[in-house]
Amino acid sequence: MKKLVGFALVLVCLASAGMVFAGEYTGKEFTARLATEDLENDSMTVWSKKFSDEMKSWSDGKIDIAVYPYGALGDTRDINELCQMGVIEFVVTDYAWISSFVPEAQVLGLHHIWPREKAPEVLEWIVKNGKFMAVLEKSFRRNGMVPLGLIWEDWMWVTSKKPAKSMADLKGLKLRVMSSKILVDQYKAYGASPTPMSFGEVYGGLQMGMIDAQMNPIFANYSMKFFEVTDHFIKMDNEAYMGIPTINAKVFDSLPVEAQQKMRQFWADSALASAKWIEARNEEDMKKIKAEKPSIEFYEFNDAQVDEMKQISKSNYSNFVEIGGPDAQQALDSLLQDLKDAKQALGI
């Protein structure tokens, strides 16, 4: 009897902590569509499918979310707009492309804001314990959407036709960036010539000489074959690539509370797991790139070069407050405080 009472107390404690168990969903059947900006076997799509599977299993089949990879329902801007309008229920996209609708999201792409050590662990701490997500949700809700979490997709690499081993080499470099005012301003500050361009246009842009270089994480450089039309890979540790799982606000608010909690719980629990998955994937894809094109040169900025970039980029943080939307200052302040608290908690 004592064992049964103890087990019951454990269940009560878990439930009070916000845990959501299988069989708790009592709502109506819910069929939805989720679009990502990654290809079929890349990070956003893979983890969106895990999300779909988890929700279907947890709801005993009542929640059925169909996942559509990049291009299936439109380009990167299209899928964000479709989610905002409620034409599709979910989207998983990055901070830059959604910034046309939620400019505050660009705070995640501020250069050198993320620590070079244990960045995925820091992100997980922020999602689970910080105040930033509530601020971000306020901004998203102002635009008809709700962020469910954040996922780390590793550091960006420049893939370039020209060597870029120093700040001097960035001068005048025609560099493709994602569509974000803050990203354009930051690369201009380094002396580069940044050009926003759709994901699907990058290969042709490099091939035809419209751009000299572009920014993407390793897995995307392999999946989209950008390495075929570039000769140099450069890692500057300046910009992290992150996904934001998002749901239309009206749809989210119409769901039972237990379903809302389960969705948030899945993405919070996936923050570190997805980071470890993509880091392993990037390591494998780098090996493939080296094998398929041995002539490619890989270069990583040293500490002195990173520090030089950092001094320039941090002077642009005030610019974010001007162009990052009505909640920009609050978003920046809360993220900086969460970063400080996370590093302290993790001993960084």
pLDDT score for 8: 37
The encoded tokens of residue 212 equal 């000299």
How far apart CA 77 and CA 96 sit, in angstroms, is 10
Parallel, antiparallel, or unpaired: how do β-strands 232-248 and 90-94 relate?
antiparallel
Q: What is the tens place of the pLDDT at every residue in 51-109?
A: 999 999 999 999 999 999 999 999 888 999 999 999 999 999 999 999 999 999 999 99
Q: Classify residue 274 as left (phi > 0), alpha (psi -120 to 50) or beta.
A: alpha
pLDDT score for 25: 85
Across the chain, mean pLDDT equals 92
CB 152 within 8 A of CB 280: no
> 264 pLDDT exceeds 90?
yes
**In the predicted model, what is the mean pLDDT of residues 43-52?**
98
Residue with tokens 């995307």: 220
> 254 pLDDT exceeds 90?
yes
Instruction: Return the H-helix or E-strand segment holding 85.
Output: helix 76-85
CB 272 within 8 A of CB 120: yes
- Determine if the pTM surpasses 0.85: yes
Domains in the chain with CATH codes: 26-153+242-279 (3.40.190.170), 154-239+284-319 (3.40.190.170)
pLDDT score for 77: 87
pLDDT score for 92: 98
**In the predicted model, what is the mean pLDDT of residues 18-39?**
82
Please name the residues in contact with 25: beta carbons below 8 A apart, sequence gap of 6 or more. 58, 59, 60, 62, 63, 256, 258, 259, 262
305 class by beta-carbon count within 10 Å (0-12 exposed, 13-18 middle, 19+ buried): middle
